[in-house]
């Protein structure tokens, strides 16, 4: 049973990426065709497919292309297999830390937005009043609340 090869277009379709992306990864030394045709067409084996899926998974875990490049070269530089595993663990731990930091940053964002929205809710009664000059609640927003809204200058015209 002979090995099955894919052209770049066929492989691209299989992994849901463009041919440009596959060539780009090759430039970055992340993949390489098993061989070429006489005319120079890239021919990939199943290994490349696996490798591409692996790259995608690492990207999904937040690793950049450069991270993956470093990862590959560093691990292959380490000769002692158990040391490889230790290094891999360290890289994952570091990534996990960064992901968690990003999460807490976003949770801060979330809180700010929710607080601002809660503040804006007190203005919503206003919207049901056709004559907004009679709207008092907007006028009663304090300086401190304005700051909370993060839109002081936009509120300024409303606040007179």
Using CB under 7 A as the criterion, which residues of the chain lie in contact with DNA when the complex forms? 7-10, 17-21, 23-24, 37-42, 59, 64-66
Residue 132 touches which of DNA, its own copies, none (Cβ within 5-8 Å per kind): its own copies
**Contact (CB, 8 A) for 110 and 118:** no
DSSP letters for 43-109: EB-HHHHHHHHHHHHHHHTT--HHHHHHHHHHHHH--SHHHHHHHHHHHHHHHHHHHHHHHHHHHHH
What's the length of the chain?
Answer: 160
Q: Of its own copies, DNA, none, which one sits near residue 118, judging by CB under 5 to 8 A according to partner kind?
A: none
158: nearest Cα among 140, 130, 150: 140
Residues in the site for its own copies, rule: CB under 8 A? 47, 50-51, 54, 57-58, 60-62, 72, 75, 80-86, 88-89, 92-93, 95-96, 99-100, 102-103, 106-110, 112-114, 116-117, 120-121, 123-124, 126-127, 129, 132, 135, 138, 150-154, 157-158
* Of 16 and 157, CB closest to DNA: 16
């Amino acid at each position: 049973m002979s090995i099955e090869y894919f052209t770049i277009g066929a492989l691209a379709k299989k992994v849901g990426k463009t041919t440009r992306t596959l060539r780009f990864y090759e430039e970055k030394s992340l993949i390489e065709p098993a061989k070429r045709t006489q005319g120079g067409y890239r021919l990939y084996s199943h290994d490349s497919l696996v490798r591409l899926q692996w790259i995608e998974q690492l990207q999904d875990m937040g690793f950049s292309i450069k991270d993956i490049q470093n990862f590959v070269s560093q691990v292959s530089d380490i000769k002692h297999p158990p040391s490889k595993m230790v290094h891999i663990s360290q890289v994952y731990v570091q990534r996990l830390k960064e992901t968690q930091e990003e999460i807490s940053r976003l949770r801060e964002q979330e809180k700010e937005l929710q607080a601002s929205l809660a503040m804006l809710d007190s203005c919503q009664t206003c919207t049901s009043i056709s004559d907004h000059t009679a709207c008092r609640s907007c006028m009663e927003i304090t300086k401190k609340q304005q700051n909370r809204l993060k839109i002081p200058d936009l509120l300024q015209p409303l606040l007179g």
